[in-house]
């Protein structure tokens, strides 16, 4: 059964940036393998929105900014638990650039996120304080856009949180599983799929759309 994509559906392409691709500082294994698939999927959509992880060098999510801490340790911050990451997607660095292999000239909006020094932002909708909005809900609503299809990196962080917040904002949300790639530290991938299933995020494969 092939899903029919309509003119109000939106493809959200999450964080396909060099630091999350092989050779990058927070690389997803085989992360580049999903790019041709994302390009093919994008051809089916009138509306494509991209997100871009975009941190200042002194960002609170970087282990390097917490003396004595190492990447992948978890610390408590005022807004909750925070995984500490290797430095990544520092604004204006090469690692922060969207992959030049993306072929989505019709992409309509790039949402940058994580640019406040003291708050991380996995989700394209709101920051990790669960309060500060990016504006994406307003953009989609104002344009009358509807079902959301989410692809990109990483399944267990920015894809998952974007999908969950999309549902929380009242949208019908589907993750296209084989067009995502995971970091998968400490069981994060299984947890993300469980959270998404519980929230009502749908899960399909690209063949369900491409035929
Ligand atoms: C991401 C960890 C830190 C992601 C971003 O794009 O999934 N993960 N920053
Ligand atoms: Zn980040």
The reply to whether 113 belongs to the active site is yes
Is residue 170 classed exposed, middle or buried when 0-12, 13-18 and 19+ CB atoms within 10 A define those classes? exposed
Nearest CA to ligand 1 atom 2: 157
Q: How far apart are CA 156 and CA 83, in angstroms?
A: 12
**122 C-alpha to center of ligand 2: Å?**
7
Residue in the block written with tokens 């790639």: 181
For residue 155, give the ligand 1 atom closest to its CA.
Answer: 7
- The full set of domains in the chain, from first to last, is 10-56+87-210 (3.40.50.850)
- DSSP string spanning 99-154? PTT---TT--EEEEE--STT----SSSB-TTS--B-SHHHHHHHTT---EEEEEE-
69-124: per-residue pLDDT in tens?
Answer: 999 999 999 999 999 999 999 999 999 999 999 999 999 999 999 999 999 999 99
For residue 87, the SS3 value is coil
Cβ neighbours of 79 (radius 10 Å):
16
Catalytic residue selected from 32, 89, 113, 120: 113
Q: How far is the CA of 90 from the centre of ligand 2 (A)?
A: 9
User: What atom in ligand 1 is closest to the CA of residue 156?
Assistant: 7
CA distances from 83 to 61, 90, 103 (A): 7, 17, 32
- Cβ density class 85-95: b for 16+ within 10 Å, e for less: bbbbbbeebeb
**End-to-end Cα distance, the chain:** 8
Is the shortest distance between the CB of 158 and ligand 1 below 6 Å?
Answer: yes
| Residue 54 exposed, middle or buried by CB count within 10 Å (0-12, 13-18, 19+) | buried
Distance CA 9, CA 17 (A): 24
- From first to last of its 211 residues, what are the pLDDT tens digits of the chain? 799 999 999 999 999 999 999 999 999 999 999 999 999 999 999 999 999 999 999 999 999 999 999 999 999 999 999 999 999 999 999 999 999 999 999 999 999 999 999 999 999 999 999 999 999 999 999 999 989 999 999 999 999 999 999 999 999 999 999 999 999 999 999 999 999 999 999 999 999 999 9
Ligand 2 is an ion; its neighbours by CB within 5 Å are 53
155: its two tokens: 């399944």
Contact in structure between 121 and 113 (CB atoms under 8 Å)? yes
Check pocket membership of 85 for ligand 1, CB cut-off 6 A: yes
């Amino acid at each position: 059964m092939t899903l029919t994509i309509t003119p109000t559906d939106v493809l959200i392409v999450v964080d396909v940036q060099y630091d999350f691709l092989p050779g990058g500082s927070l690389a997803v294994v085989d992360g580049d393998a999903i790019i041709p698939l994302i390009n093919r999927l994008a051809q089916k959509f009138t509306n494509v929105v991209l997100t871009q992880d975009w941190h200042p060098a002194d960002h609170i999510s970087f282990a390097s900014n917490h003396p004595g801490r190492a990447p992948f340790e978890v610390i408590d911050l005022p807004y909750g638990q925070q995984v500490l990451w290797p430095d990544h997607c520092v604004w204006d660095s090469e690692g922060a650039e969207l992959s030049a292999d993306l072929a989505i000239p019709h992409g309509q909006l790039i949402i940058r996120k994580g640019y406040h020094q003291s708050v991380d932002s996995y989700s394209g909708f709101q920051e990790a304080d669960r309060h500060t909005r990016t504006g994406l809900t307003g953009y989609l609503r104002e344009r009358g856009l509807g079902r959301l299809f989410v692809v990109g990196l990483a399944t267990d962080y920015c894809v998952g949180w974007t999908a969950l917040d999309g549902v929380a904002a009242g949208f019908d949300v589907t993750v296209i599983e084989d067009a995502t790639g995971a970091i998968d530290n400490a069981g994060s991938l299984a947890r993300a799929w469980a959270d998404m299933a519980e929230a009502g995020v749908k899960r399909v494969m690209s063949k369900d759309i491409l035929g």
